[in-house]
Structure 1
Amino acid sequence: MPCTLKVTARFGLFLVSVLLYTNPKKRVNMELKNFNLLLILSLLWGASFYFIAKSLLFFSYEQIVFFRVFFAALTLFGFLLLKRVKFDFDWKLWLSFLVMGILNNVIPFLAFTYAQNGITASMASLFNATTPIFVASFAHLLTQDEKLSKLKILGITIGFLGIVFLLNPHEKMVVDVYKLIALIAPISYAFAGIFGKILKGKDPIFSAFGMLTCSSLIMYLFFHTAIHAVNIEQFEHLKHVVFLAIFSTAIAYILYFELLARVGATKLLLVTFLIPISASILGVLFLNEAFTPTMYLGMITIFIALFLIIKDKK
């Protein structure tokens, strides 16, 4: 592993270790099996940025997102059939799936996939890591039970400084449009996280299937021309899109909800530190990407912000 990657990996794992093992009275207990699942989940989500980069060599961003949500929905449909989960067709529930599909799939998937036409997979994963910063900010404004503490305010402030480092405006304060588009994704994820509370008590895998099904319909409705433009020759290169759908979306959802039930939402936030590490390793080793000094500065700042926000969780 190149030296730069070792620094990235060690710093992220150091902060995770601090969260897990410091302060005995507030120690985060996590069995080795659960921690291994956490590492697998971070690898699957980190790999999504690699799969997107490879898929963009042969498909447009609209085609990639449609096939991603469509194949992921089919995978979860098969999983639900095997588990013999009862399907709920209440229209209000599916309306919620529609909204969640837009916020949690369509907007962020389109934003990241389009943005990777102009930024690296490593950079995209760092923007993804800012999601908890936006969640904490919006939750304070839109909910009554998640108000900001002094520690969270400090974390959010440092986090937004990290975002400025990532945007890295050029001369005359001109910011790369691809970076701004990438920033739309974590903002949309944050709104999805807040709105998603409406689905509390519902089967999470069925909810994921519902979201992805609605996302597939939305993508086809708005981008059917681009989707139909896929030719037979392109299907030879579909494997990375299929991997993106099955492993980094469908299976990742199953792992996510399994871990959520086992360890809880706060401990699961540790995956935020690990995704940029796995994405950067894949990007540098297999996509010949460079990890720039400003990316390091942004990563370190964002990791510190996430550390403060997560440590503040009760």
Structure 2
Amino acid sequence: MEKVLEKWTSKINEMVIGATKEEGGTRSKKVHIGGETTLPFLHFEGEIPYPPVVALEVWDIPPEEWSFISEDLKEVVNDPLLWAKKVEEWGADLLCFRLASAHPEKDDTSPEKCAEKVKKILETVKLPLIILGCGQPDKDGEILLKVSEVAKGENCLLGMAAKDNYKTVVAAATYGGHSIIAETPLDINLEKQLNILITDLGFLAERIIAHPTTGGLGYGFEYCYSIMERTRIAGLQGDKMMAIPIINLVAQETWKHKEAKVNENEAPQWGVLNKRAIAWETTCAVGYLQSGADILVLAHPQSLINVKKAISELMIKT
């Protein structure tokens, strides 16, 4: 019986994160993503040259909003450099450094101080870096201008570039030779529009990765999944502005919710918090793998183990 296969006309852009000594950087390795010519894990239908990769988050201040993480990783959360070393030991593909202290409602750390923190992280670990600001667009633009300077030549992934600050973030990334995360609300048209605006500035589409601000498991997951899937299909059908790899910040959409905070004494019907919270992060991540995620950003080391195991199994060609 003849197999009926979908024939796509295009492929997803390839991206490299990190630069080794030979390329002017100091990273121990590079991470490749993208290049797919088929939907996730349909190996019989096209090529998937690189498996999805997994990053672990490190904050420059303790993540008090993530009570379970703060407790379970209490030996490292007060020391970002020690935390970063552990992330490398745990086997993450990348390190995601979040400059949370810079938010005006927290420590309002200056861009210069943020740059110093990034420099220390670069000196401490050799993983390719994702560098995130504090989530306040104007401040993030200022932060990333300074961060880009100290990380020049390291080919980092900077975020977030949003509609209110994309010009500044593009300027920062261009100067330092970095790629950027383009963040939009969960709307395929807004996603495409931002990519067009960024490339209109002369920034290469091949250096953009999309963050469609997806929610966590139980918080509109099916809708998030469908938008990501539509994005991937549009890219494979030849829309150059949608042929962009996708990143999901699973940690930030898991650990802030009650399902990953409330202990078994308060909600015995939910089961033991330790197992439940990790399962919540793992399940959310594996779901997004199926809809086209190229990079997953997690927080718990056990989730990292679980998700990397799932990726290995899904990458087996049958």
TM-score bracket for this pair, using the shorter chain length? under 0.3
Name the structure with the higher helix share: 1
Structure number with higher strand proportion: 2
TM-score by length of 2: 0.25
- Structure number with greater CO (CA < 8 Å, separation at least 6) is 1
